[in-house]
Amino acid sequence: MSHHEISCGLEYITTPNLQECLSEALQSSYAFIVMPIVHPRFRRSHQSSVGTVGGFSRSDMLLASQDWNSRIVGKLSHYLDLDSESPIIRQRHEDCLNEELTYSRGLGLPAVMLSLHSTNVSNLARNVLSYLDTSHHPTLIWSYVPMFCQRTLRDQESEENENIEVWDEPWRWWSTFHERINWDKRVGVVVEIPANLPPQEILKRWLGEPIKAIVVPTSLFHNNKKGYPVLSRAHQQLVVEMIEHEAQVIVSGARRSNIEYYLQYLYRLWKKRPYIADDPMLSYAKGWEDYLQIPLQPLADNLDTHTYNVFEKDPIKYDQYQKAIAQALTDIQKKRKGESINNESLSASTDIINSDTKESGQGDNALKEIDKAITVMVLGAGRGPLVRATLNAADITQSKVKVVAVEKNPCAVVVLTALAKEVWHNRDVTVIPGDMRQINLSPKADIIVSELLGSWGDNELSPECLDGAAGLLKSAGISIPREYSSYVAPISSARLWAAAKVANVTSCQMEKNLETLWVVYMQNKHDIGEIKPVFTFEHPAKGVKDHKGKEVLDYRGLPVTDNRRSTVLSWEVKQDNVMHGFGGYFDCLLYGKEMISIVPSTHSPGMISWFPVFIPIKTPLRVKKGETIKATFWRCRNPRKVWYEWIVEVGIRATPMHNNNGRSSEMLL
């Protein structure tokens, strides 16, 4: 949620004197006004000439241009019906629409508002699309709809029959229109807040739409004892939520009170909203809402200082690692003690006569065994945070550790070596430059510690790296992390989809953009289904079996692993919606009970190292209540790279296969 200021506008049904209206609004410190583009005083000529601008409205000399292009939202004529039954009306209204759009562009209005009345919008969409495609700096399009059909609702109530259609109708008008213009970013929706609010899931769905503004009719306000206009608690909450989603507010309708009061009330509402800046994640994510980034490839590319800085700042992640390492050290000590005691009892049973040598003889070896340092290898040590965590854990658990820090990034190696000399000189820390998949060390590790996870778990090749390093771990050794899984939920988010599509200009690139995972702090989206696990990886990994069920070993005698995966998931659709892709997350069991997670329901509080991923689908899918969304994900590899492929099927419809052969996105080995 962003911490921007609130922006309010005032609607005028007519503006007999434009300057007066504007200055009235500005004096009451509204930011802009909404007014009809066509002045009622002007008659329209209905020659079906192609979009010529006639003298059909007021002169643009009335206002200064900075007022036109910052303070005026124009409303298109309400009667325009470009999808009428009659071809003549279709044609005439088409010409009128283009006349008004051209005029608005000429004035440089920041936005024009049009009303939607049905799902029959092909011709309207076609013309808006043409307008957007032919304008370098087009006026933005705000599509006005009520939140649901009051009329229909009343009909339904009278029939005492709760019909979901009531809620869906205007949403579908908007959704269909948005689809027809290819979910264009420059077109948003303006929703009028109704007196009686719909169920929560309906509101949640609206929050997934790109809401540019909400219309708050003055009729929603009632006067408090002091005589000031106020909103009901439910309305307060909704309005604040909408503003947090960057919606502007348009006050509209008959004035039952001084218009300043409405604005002042909204300001107070916004100021006194539950303040959330103390959540480190939210303050960290501030400004990054719905901003798409390409995932890192730490294996192929070396991370830079900045990135290390960001990650090392994480207040939670390394605490969790430290706890996990401490737990592992304790368990190993316990185990060794156990063994030494066994040795004692063993020796006791075997050697009864010479009882006084017992303690000193066998016992010494056992104690030696207990005292022997525990070898902890930190694989991908970066600039040392996990080494630090290991040393802390050792201190806490009073265990003797030999730390080996393996790192392939030369710049990081320099830092590590310096740290080893200057900071850790009195500790047993060795720095080994190199790729964990190629080096060979002895003694082998009792514990391997690594942090190679991406926002979608395995998407930075943690499995391949750790399997490659399996030879460094003792047979009964411990890997931290021990297990991790990726997760997805189908989501509706025209905003993220459109952002991904145009992330790179050329039309050829679009293909690629919609076959790529994007790291993004998702705000303007709506979950269509619950979050489900996709791929899981364990360490040390189990080997594949041959057709006789025997484990296959490689030349090092280590089990051959297969990190290719495929998973089929399905969700039942709870309400009509449009699917644009998936939200992706991961969780990870480090050791014992110690977890890290970015799955919303189990998110490690305050952990900021990972934003989720957005996994788009090429063709948004319109899904109906009761239908089943079936998604298949593949994790594929060849000798050079690893990549994901995915496809979504709904009934007889399906998306194309995504990222076949890793043509658009890949993770280089």
The string over 527-563, giving b where at least 16 C-beta atoms fall within 10 Å of a residue's C-beta and e elsewhere, is bbbebebbbebbbbbebeeeeeeeeeeeeeebbebeb
Task: Examine residue 562 and tell whether it contacts a second copy (CB under 8 A).
Answer: yes
Q: Which range touches a second copy (CB under 8 A), out of 260-268, 292-300, 342-350, 617-625?
A: 617-625
47/70 with CB nearer a second copy: 47
Among 91, 102, 156, 237, binds a second copy (CB under 8 A): 91
Per the CB < 8 A criterion, the answer to whether 647 and 631 are in contact is yes
The whole-angstrom separation of Cα 314 and Cα 641 is 30
Nearest to 367 by CA among 390, 397, 400, 395: 400
Q: What is the closest distance, in whole angstroms, from the C-beta atom of residue 507 to a second copy in the complex?
A: 5
Task: Examine residue 7 and tell whether it contacts a second copy (CB under 8 A).
Answer: no
The whole-angstrom separation of Cα 606 and Cα 590 is 17
318 known ligand binder: yes
C-alpha 135 chain-centroid distance:
31
Pairing of strands 429-433, 483-492: unpaired
557/639 with CB nearer a second copy: 639
Task: Examine residue 652 and tell whether it contacts a second copy (CB under 8 A).
Answer: yes
124/214 with CB nearer a second copy: 124
Task: Examine residue 638 and tell whether it contacts a second copy (CB under 8 A).
Answer: yes
Q: What is the closest distance, in whole angstroms, from the C-beta atom of residue 113 to a second copy in the complex?
A: 22
574 known ligand binder: no
The whole-angstrom separation of Cα 583 and Cα 616 is 9
Task: Examine residue 77 and tell whether it contacts a second copy (CB under 8 A).
Answer: no
266/642 with CB nearer a second copy: 642
145's enclosing H/E stretch is strand 140-146
Per the CB < 8 A criterion, the answer to whether 411 and 383 are in contact is no
Among 564, 602, 625, 668, binds a second copy (CB under 8 A): 564
Among 136, 306, 547, 556, binds a second copy (CB under 8 A): 547
78/653 with CB nearer a second copy: 653
- Residues 511-530, mask of contacts with a second copy (x by CB under 8 A): x-------------------
C-alpha 334 chain-centroid distance:
43
CA angle centred on 611, ends 563 and 205, rounded to 5°: 105
Quick check: helix, strand or coil at residue 137? coil
Q: Which of residues 618-637 bind a second copy (CB under 8 A)?
A: 619, 622, 624, 632, 634, 637
Nearest to 571 by CA among 633, 600, 529, 605: 529
Per the CB < 8 A criterion, the answer to whether 387 and 406 are in contact is no
Q: Dihedral, CA atoms, 126, 130, 133, 139, nearest 10 degrees?
A: -100
Q: Is 460 a catalytic residue?
A: yes
Residue labelled with tokens 């409405």 = 262
Q: What is the closest distance, in whole angstroms, from the C-beta atom of residue 644 to a second copy in the complex?
A: 12
Per the CB < 8 A criterion, the answer to whether 399 and 329 are in contact is yes
Task: Examine residue 53 and tell whether it contacts a second copy (CB under 8 A).
Answer: no
Among 335, 351, 656, 668, binds a second copy (CB under 8 A): 656
Task: Examine residue 46 and tell whether it contacts a second copy (CB under 8 A).
Answer: yes
Residue labelled with tokens 């830079």 = 304
Task: Examine residue 272 and tell whether it contacts a second copy (CB under 8 A).
Answer: no
Residue labelled with tokens 């790109």 = 210
Task: Examine residue 354 and tell whether it contacts a second copy (CB under 8 A).
Answer: no
Q: What is the closest distance, in whole angstroms, from the C-beta atom of residue 653 to a second copy in the complex?
A: 7
With CB under 8 A, what is the number of residues at the site for a second copy?
A: 54
Task: Examine residue 99 and tell whether it contacts a second copy (CB under 8 A).
Answer: no
168/446 with CB nearer a second copy: 168
Task: Examine residue 570 and tell whether it contacts a second copy (CB under 8 A).
Answer: no
The whole-angstrom separation of Cα 91 and Cα 46 is 10
The whole-angstrom separation of Cα 657 and Cα 660 is 6
Task: Examine residue 133 and tell whether it contacts a second copy (CB under 8 A).
Answer: yes
In angstroms, the Cα distances linking 501 to 45, 225, 360, 466, 514 are 41, 52, 74, 34, 6
Q: What is the closest distance, in whole angstroms, from the C-beta atom of residue 173 to a second copy in the complex?
A: 13
317 known ligand binder: yes
DSSP 289: B
Task: Examine residue 558 and tell whether it contacts a second copy (CB under 8 A).
Answer: no
Among 17, 27, 134, 504, binds a second copy (CB under 8 A): 134
555 known ligand binder: no
Active-site residue, selected from the candidate residues 100, 209, 244, 451: 451
The whole-angstrom separation of Cα 166 and Cα 181 is 24
Q: Which range touches a second copy (CB under 8 A), out of 176-184, 332-340, 365-373, 449-457?
A: 176-184
126/603 with CB nearer a second copy: 126
Task: Examine residue 544 and tell whether it contacts a second copy (CB under 8 A).
Answer: yes
Task: Examine residue 58 and tell whether it contacts a second copy (CB under 8 A).
Answer: no
Q: Is 451 a catalytic residue?
A: yes
What is the full DSSP assignment across 312-362? HT-TTHHHHHHHHHHHHHHHHHHHHHHHHHHHHHHHHHH--S-HHHHHHHH
Active-site residue, selected from the candidate residues 11, 94, 246, 460: 460
Residues tagged active-site: 451, 460
List residues binding a second copy (CB under 8 A).
45-48, 50, 87, 90-92, 122-123, 125-126, 129-130, 133-134, 179-182, 506-508, 511, 544, 546-547, 552, 560, 562, 564-567, 619, 622, 624, 632, 634, 637-639, 645, 647, 649, 652-654, 656-657, 660-661, 663
- Binding residues for S-adenosyl-L-methionine, as ranges, are 308, 317-318, 407, 435-436
- Binding residues, as ranges, are 308, 317-318, 407, 435-436
